[in-house]
């Protein structure tokens, strides 16, 4: 924040669905700004849309925040539960004359609708309350300026606002009014949210001014796009935080990649620890243009985080993801897969052969089990049967003379062994894979492959 004094931020999701990647980035930026300044983060659930806001959706948001390891200092506060405070603020504006009741006659409403469309609320009113509403007095001229921390000043001429509706006839307040009252009463100093809210900000500023509150500072984040330049959506891959988790990403990697979407550096695959993000993050350093979410880059970043994990933590994470005990056997399997997998999801494809019989991939068989495969497997079998000890070093020593002896390239010897023991042509290192499998099982699988080749 401009002066680095402790800031009070809020993340204010509407619980109308899962937390998506754009929302997760907004949550992360608020969290980083709060932690960077030594300030506080309030979680406010904007649940005034009673039909679309479900307890299940709230649960999903809390679950997503928990998985991302983003904590908050106050809340979750339900916006709907603050209705009493909203009504009091509304009454103050009615008392001071800054707001007034507008009760159009049925005839006026009809005439307006004939001109503007029957499906629209009379002069900006909610459609469900025809003809009676509370409006805020907006000056006819002048302009309202949003001093945006990212975009600089953005001005909106007041004449485009009419006297806008802030509550229905029954005093239930509308969205922009509730947000302005809540931000002020919760002592929010910085509002960091998506660009799609920029056009709401002048209305919120007008409400704050009428109530005599100092406005917070605003930062509107450019939207996220997919690699094709279109607004981010499901077709660009994982869309919600839960989908990222299920796809086997690590929260720290997701935080790293999301943080760099629009902030920090031109290279959004730079690796940064969360401590470093907290130390360096400033919302005014966020770029003005849309950032591109590219799941391929996230995979790469995730792979780097996975490789860096201590083996115990790696095994824990894999165990959790696969629903398996993180025991010695899994630990041994993880040890040989750690260099190769980019997501937790990919680990099973690499180590599954250690836990269950191989399923032959027919394409790999056709490609690899060709001329020369049979003598290679026979020679390998003989060497493996005799090697003393069955560690990867001994196995390597026993197998490495074979290519020369058989007059074959190394791949022509090792790939058939790989296909024989794993069923596929992609696996962790061949010597480590054999060692992890153990001599008896390795020989049995090679025998089975030899049998198939001879038949
Ligand atoms: N509830 C709004 C949303 O989920 C955010 C409002 C705000 O941050 O001011 O889009």
pLDDT in tens, 281-313: 999 999 998 899 999 999 999 999 999 999 999
10 alpha carbon to ligand 1 midpoint, in Å?
A: 10
Q: Mind listing the domains of the chain with CATH numbers? A: 8-78+223-292 (3.40.50.620), 80-221 (3.40.50.620), 309-354 (no CATH), 362-454 (1.10.10.350)
Check whether 329 has a pLDDT greater than 60: yes
Catalytic residue among 230, 231, 234, 367: 234
The answer, yes or no, to whether residue 128 has pLDDT greater than 90, is no
Name which of 112-126, 142-156, 305-319, 362-376 the model is least confident about. Answer: 112-126
> Rg of the chain over CA atoms, in angstroms?
31
Cα–Cα distance for residue pair 424/56, rounded to 1 Å: 42
pLDDT at 268 over 70: yes
Q: Is 412 a catalytic residue?
A: no
- pLDDT value at residue 87: 96
C-alpha of residue 24 to centroid of ligand 1, in Å: 12
CB atoms within 10 A of CB 235: 9
In the chain, % of residues over pLDDT 70: 98
Res 1 pLDDT > 60:
no
In contact, 405 and 399? CB cutoff 8 Å: no
Q: Model pTM?
A: 0.90
d(CA 420, CA 415): 8
What's the average model confidence in pLDDT over 130-147?
90
Separation CA 451–CA 161 (nearest Å): 82
pLDDT in tens, 81-118: 999 999 999 999 999 999 999 877 777 778 888 888 88
Phi-psi region of 389 (alpha: psi -120 to 50; beta: other; left: phi over 0): left
Q: Span 214-231, mean pLDDT?
A: 93
Q: Who lines ligand 1 at CB under 6 A?
A: 12-14, 46, 179, 193, 197
- Residue 76: cis peptide before it, omega within 30 degrees of 0: yes
Q: Tokens at residue 410, please?
A: 């190394």
Determine the distance separating the centroid of ligand 1 and the alpha carbon of 48, expressed in angstroms.
11
* Lowest mean pLDDT, pick from 120-129, 325-334, 357-366: 120-129
33-37, 169-173, 240-244, 347-351: which range is least confident on average?
169-173
Rounded to an integer, what distance in angstroms lies between the CA atom of residue 239 and that of residue 249?
13
CA distance linking residue 242 with residue 238, whole number of Å: 9
Mean pLDDT of 188-192: 98
* Residue to probe by mutation, ligand 1, list 194, 205, 223, most atoms within 8 Å of CB: 194
Distant-in-sequence, close-in-space partners of 243: CB < 8 Å, separation ≥ 6: none
**Could you tell me which residues are beta bridge partners of residue 225?**
231, 292
| pLDDT given at position 4 | 67
Cα 26 to ligand 1 centroid, rounded to whole Å: 10
pLDDT surpassing 70 at residue 131: no
Degrees (nearest 5) of the Cα angle 155, 158, 160? Answer: 100
Q: Which residues pair with 153 in a beta bridge?
A: 147
Mean pLDDT of 111-130: 78
Q: Phi and psi at residue 441, in whole multiples of 5°?
A: -65, -40
The secondary structure of residue 341, as a DSSP letter, is -
Torsion sign (Cα): 293, 21, 229, 147: negative
Residue 142 confidence (pLDDT) above 50? yes
**Across all residues in the chain, what is the average pLDDT?**
93
Closest-lying ligand 1 atom to the alpha carbon of residue 200:
9
How does residue 3 score in pLDDT terms, banded at 50, 70 and 90? low
């Amino acid at each position: 924040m401009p002066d680095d004094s402790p800031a009070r931020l809020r993340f204010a999701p509407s619980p109308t669905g899962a937390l998506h990647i754009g929302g997760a980035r907004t949550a992360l930026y608020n969290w980083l700004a709060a932690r960077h300044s030594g300030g506080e983060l309030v979680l406010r659930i904007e649940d005034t849309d009673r039909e679309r806001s479900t307890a299940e959706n709230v649960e999903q948001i809390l679950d997503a925040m928990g998985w991302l390891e983003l904590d908050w200092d106050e809340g979750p506060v339900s916006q709907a539960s603050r209705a009493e405070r909203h009504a009091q603020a509304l009454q103050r504006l009615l008392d001071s004359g800054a707001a007034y009741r507008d009760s159009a006659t049925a005839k006026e409403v009809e005439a307006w609708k004939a001109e503007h469309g029957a499906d629209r609320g009379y002069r900006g009113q909610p459609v469900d309350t025809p003809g009676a509403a509370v409006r805020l007095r907006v000056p006819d001229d002048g302009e309202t300026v949003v001093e945006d921390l990212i975009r600089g000043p953005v001005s909106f001429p007041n004449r485009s606002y009419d006297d806008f509706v802030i509550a229905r006839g029954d005093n239930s307040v509308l969205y922009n009014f509730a947000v302005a009252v809540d931000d002020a009463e919760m002592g929010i100093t910085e509002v960091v949210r998506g660009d799609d809210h920029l056009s709401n900000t002048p209305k919120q500023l007008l409400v704050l001014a009428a109530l005599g509150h100092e406005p917070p500072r605003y930062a509107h984040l450019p939207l996220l796009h997919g690699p094709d330049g279109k607004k981010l959506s499901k077709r660009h891959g994982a869309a919600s935080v839960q989908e990222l988790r299920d796809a086997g990403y690590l929260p720290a990697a997701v935080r790293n990649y999301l943080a760099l979407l629009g902030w920090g550096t031109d290279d959004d695959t730079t690796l940064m620890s969360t401590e470093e993000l907290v130390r360096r993050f400033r919302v005014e350093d966020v770029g003005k243009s849309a950032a591109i979410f590219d799941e391929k880059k996230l995979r790469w970043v995730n792979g780097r985080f996975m490789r860096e994990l201590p083996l115990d933590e790696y095994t824990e994470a894999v165990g959790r993801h696969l629903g398996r005990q993180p025991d010695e056997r899994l630990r041994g399997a993880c040890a040989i897969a750690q260099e190769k997998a980019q997501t937790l999801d990919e680990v099973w494809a690499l180590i599954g052969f250690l836990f269950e019989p191989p399923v032959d991939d027919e394409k790999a068989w056709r490609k690899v089990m060709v001329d020369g495969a049979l003598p290679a497997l026979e020679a390998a079998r003989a060497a493996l049967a005799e090697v003393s000890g069955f560690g990867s070093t001994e196995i390597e020593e026993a197998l490495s003379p074979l290519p020369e002896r058989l007059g074959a390239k190394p791949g022509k010897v090792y790939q058939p062994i790989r296909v024989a023991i794993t069923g596929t042509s992609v696996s962790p290192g061949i010597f480590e894979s054999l060692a992890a499998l153990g001599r008896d099982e390795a020989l049995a699988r090679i025998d089975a492959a030899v049998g198939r080749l001879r038949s």
